[in-house]
């Protein structure tokens, strides 16, 4: 008969306390809004390093940021893009809207200053938020930064948009996020939206916590336009980086973002726990 070998646990093993269960990570869903002439895919490519650093830095705090990159519904033609120069020979270039990969959340009417196709842009965001099951925050660049301010304000309780089908996107946006305001908004080179029919978004001030990044050498969005949005936010945090019109992705400028997202995610989590159940 074959002998059976019995193994005995190490004498110290029996005295070791059991490992505590792993703390589950809390998801933090962030809507990422690209700038004018960009797309969701291009914006992700440009901010990939920021995304990775944010995920790595928040992991020790049991926070798992998930970035969602929609693309604006308004396709731009070559002549819609700043700096466009028509061909010198007078020929008409291929201006087919179906060939361009440049997009916008809305189009500004040069004659009136109104935002055309804003409803389409905001409806796209409502659809994206609904598919994601709601979002916690928004991060936007340039026109996407302005859109971030609009979304944050529109989701706040008590703001009343004008009447009419043109504003049906507000109801859709609120329903998509479960009638909950955002926990935070991060805005790079954003700006205030001046059309009078959007005044309801800025008065009273936006109370969603906001973090603003200003490019000290930005020649695309004048600092006064960015400051106008900052002035319409309640207790905003504003930082000026030494670059131009872009999202800085080096560690020095990502860490303030990490700290801000961590603070707002944890603060709102604590408030939810402390809220009495009825």
pLDDT in tens, 11-70: 565 566 666 666 678 999 999 999 999 999 999 999 999 999 999 999 999 999 999 999
pTM comes to: 0.86
Residue 140 β-bridge partners:
33, 187
Do residues 271 and 246 lie in contact, with contact meaning Cβ atoms separated by under 8 Å? no
pLDDT of residue 21: 64
Burial of 3 (0-12, 13-18, 19+ CB in 10 A): exposed
Helices (H) and strands (E) in the chain, counts: 6, 10
Return the domain boundaries, the chain.
Answer: 33-75+101-273
The CATH code that applies to domain 33-75+101-273 is: 3.40.50.1820
pLDDT of residue 17: 67
Per DSSP bridges, beta strands 137-141 and 63-68 are unpaired
**Quick one: CA torsion of 146, 148, 151, 154, rounded to 10 degrees?**
-60
User: Would you state the structure tokens that stand for residue 50, as one six-digit string?
Assistant: 């920021």
pLDDT of residue 274: 41
pLDDT of residue 232: 98
- From the CB of residue 245, how many other CB atoms can be counted at a distance below 10 Å? 15
* pLDDT for 226 beyond 80: yes
């Amino acid at each position: 008969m074959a002998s059976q070998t019995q193994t005995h646990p190490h004498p110290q093993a029996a005295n070791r306390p059991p490992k505590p269960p792993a703390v589950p990570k809390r998801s933090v869903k962030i809507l990422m809004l690209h700038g004018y002439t960009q797309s969701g895919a291009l914006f992700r490519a440009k901010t990939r390093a920021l995304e990775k650093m944010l995920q790595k830095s928040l992991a020790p705090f049991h926070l798992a940021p998930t970035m969602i990159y929609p693309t604006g519904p308004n396709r731009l033609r070559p002549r819609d893009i700043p700096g466009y120069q028509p061909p010198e020979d007078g020929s008409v270039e291929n201006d087919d809207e179906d060939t361009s990969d440049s997009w916008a959340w809305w189009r500004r009417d040069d004659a009136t200053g109104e935002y055309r196709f804003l409803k389409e842009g905001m409806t796209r965001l409502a659809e994206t938020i609904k598919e994601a099951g709601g979002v916690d925050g928004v991060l936007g660049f340039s026109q996407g930064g302005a859109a971030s301010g609009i979304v944050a304000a529109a989701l706040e309780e008590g703001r009343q948009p004008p009447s009419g089908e043109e504003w049906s996107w507000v109801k859709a946006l609120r329903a998509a996020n479960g009638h909950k305001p955002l926990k935070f908004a991060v805005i790079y080179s954003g700006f205030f939206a001046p059309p009078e029919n959007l005044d309801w978004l800025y008065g009273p001030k936006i109370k969603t916590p906001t973090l603003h990044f200003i490019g000290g050498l930005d020649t695309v969005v004048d600092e006064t336009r960015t400051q106008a949005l900052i002035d319409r936010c309640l207790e905003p945090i504003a930082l000026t980086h030494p670059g131009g019109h872009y999202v800085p992705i080096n560690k020095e400028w990502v860490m303030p973002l990490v700290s801000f997202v961590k603070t707002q995610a944890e603060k709102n989590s604590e408030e939810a726990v402390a809220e009495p159940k009825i």
